[in-house]
Structure 1
Amino acid sequence: MDGGGRFASTLRKLTAKLRVRSSRNRDDALLAPRRKRNRGLELVERLTPRGAGFAATVLIIAGSAALGVVKGGHLQTITETLRDARDAVANSAGFRIVSVNISGRKQLTQDEVLAIGGVTGRRSLLFLDAADVRDRLKANPWIADATVLKLYPDRLSIEITERNAFALWQDRGQLSLIAADGAVLEPYVARRFTALPLVVGKGGETRARGFLDVIAAYPQISKDVKAIVFVGERRWNLRLASGLDIRLPETGIQAALDRLMKLDREDRVLSRDVLAIDLRLPDRVVVRMSDDAAKARFDALKAKAKATKKATDA
């Protein structure tokens, strides 16, 4: 056989082997179970933009970090750090607060006003929120009103209206300084307010001004008042410096005081050794004397009765 015949025979054998291998592969493919593709998953994969998974991962990490900052109590620190950095840039540009004019203060010092308003040496005028400073000032019980003006580039003007200390208020053992409208200014710690009237009892702090205006018309009483006591959130008692208690009715206070003044002119009852005068009943006055005064009165009446009897017998 020549060379051409040998080549043709070899080619035929190779072709036959390839046909057998291909047939086996088809048979194996037919016998193997087919994998079912989830059409919904295919649709999601088609519609989801490339890189979405990475972006979602970044968002989850950022959210976790933010939650950690809030729960860990670091939010205020981070906020203050960012604010200080911002103010530092503005200060370097010429907006540092170098002059603060405060007017209207009487009880509060300049440093106290600045601290209440949150104005520090690091704050810049450019980023200072005047409305926020005003709200902080008005939240303080001593300050009734406030005006805050930013005068560029470096001046700040603050005008405040202070409440006046009106009285000392005692409730459940706690002593506080109050304004005329009953607002509690501060716990009482300074002895400079000892001359103020003393109000005792819950609810008395808001009604004291009106009541003191009423008794001011009776100087014989008002000049000796040591304390006014609001009883049961309904009515007033007067405690005089002598220790005398004057019990007033819930209504008709002026009429009751008029009766007391008449009784004092006739019998000088306010100057006697009396513990309490009860004016709560409109048709009578009940006077409670001290033990010594009661005994002296009893002895006097007894002696008078004895003298009368002796004179009658004679």
Structure 2
Amino acid sequence: MAAIKKGQSKFGGMMRVSPLKPGLRGSQNWMAAQMRAAKHSPKAFMRFVLKIIGTFGFLIFIALWLGGYLPAIRQNMDAWKVDRLMAAGFVVEQVDVMGEGRLNERDIRIAAQIQRGTYFFGVDLDAARDRTESLPWVEKAVVRRLWPNRIVVQVVETTPYALWQHEGVLHLLADSGQPIIPVSEAISIPLGLKTYVGADAPADARNIEASLAPHQEIWTRVESLVRFPSGRWDLHLRNETIVQLPAENVDIALRKLASLDRETFILSREVGSIDLRLPDRIGLKAKTADALQST
């Protein structure tokens, strides 16, 4: 009987070898080698155990990741951590408000949205600060934690420096040029505020003030300033005299007016208007009879 050659079956065809057998045989050999080494060395045994645990852990992680369970597990762990910390006393017990004057303390608390009994480290300080600074009277706010259970909201109130009249409504104006609130809603109004009139008056207020700064003898007499769409200003003095400034070369016109006042005391006289819009002349107009009767 003919011998069967290696690689052939007894039926004459080539013998098929499963491609899994070499890999399985290698895994079995590696496992057997690891177990034999573990029997003779405690360190090898521990390494063997850790490898087995690591392999199972990796497989479990992959299964959870593929199944989409990791976000839920992380959320549950975070909730458990927060519950443990709150049980240990990390809870907001007191919310202090500092610096309020024109502002109502209740409005600040509502804006900050920090409730007693919430998780101490869960308070979003930046969000609370931004909400507080959105209040009309608040120029700046600082929100901070005070160990172990206090939150402090400290505000710096806006100081109004002028009044702004626009479309028949009078507003308090902040130093930044932004309107604060209508005067009708203000609890109190500081004395001695200048009044700016015109849609673009707040944006250009600093420029006209800079031009008037060297001439305090004029600035102290000004009660209101009216800005026209052309860009020029009228100064309404306390004695009801109107000074009409040009759109350009305002500094030259103001120096001319200051010099004229030193020579003639024109700003103290009963003059209805002083026209400085033309560079080569000064126009004067007497007060009307009604204006003279009111002074």
The verdict on a shared fold, with TM-score over 0.5 as the criterion, is yes
Q: State the identity as a percent.
A: 30
1:183 maps to: 178
Q: Structure 2: which amino acid aligns with 1:165?
A: P
Per-residue deviation, 1:122: 5.9
Which of the residues 282, 288, 291 maps onto 1:285?
282
Per-residue deviation, 1:182: 0.8
Q: Structure 1: which amino acid aligns with 2:164?
A: W
Q: What is the SS of the residue equivalent to 1:275?
A: strand
Q: Structure 1: which amino acid aligns with 2:130?
A: D
1:156 maps to: 151
1:143 maps to: 138
2:3 maps to: none
Q: Tell me the distance in 2 between the aligned counterparts of 1:240 and 1:146.
A: 38
1:37-56 matches, within 5 Å, as none
Cα distance change on mapping 1:214 and 1:105 into 2, 3 Å: farther
Q: What is the SS of the residue equivalent to 2:205?
A: helix
Q: Tell me the distance in 1 between the aligned counterparts of 2:117 and 2:182.
A: 31
Which of the residues 266, 283, 287 maps onto 2:263?
266
Bigger Cα Rg: 1
Which of the residues 245, 254, 272 maps onto 1:275?
272
- TM-score, L = length of structure 2: 0.61
- TM-score, L = length of structure 1: 0.58
Cα distance change on mapping 1:88 and 1:254 into 2, 3 Å: farther
Per-residue deviation, 1:244: 0.6
- Alignment RMSD: 2.9
Q: Structure 1: which amino acid aligns with 2:286?
A: M
Q: Tell me the distance in 2 between the aligned counterparts of 1:285 and 1:231.
A: 20
Q: Tell me the distance in 2 between the aligned counterparts of 1:218 and 1:136.
A: 42
Aligned residues: 207
Q: Tell me the distance in 2 between the aligned counterparts of 1:92 and 1:183.
A: 46
Q: Which string of whole-angstrom CA distances, capped at 9 and with x for unpartnered residues, describes residues 39-93 of structure 1?
A: xxxxxxxxxxxxxxxxxxxxxxxxxxxxxxxxxxxxxxxxxxxxxxxx9999777
1:116 maps to: 111
Q: What is the SS of the residue equivalent to 2:217?
A: helix
1:64 maps to: none
Per-residue deviation, 1:172: 0.5
**What stretches of structure 1 of length at least 5 have no aligned partner?**
1-86, 293-314
Per-residue deviation, 1:121: 4.2
Contact 2:194-2:223 at 8 Å conserved across structures:
yes
**What stretches of structure 2 of length at least 5 have no aligned partner?**
1-81, 290-295
Per-residue deviation, 1:249: 1.1
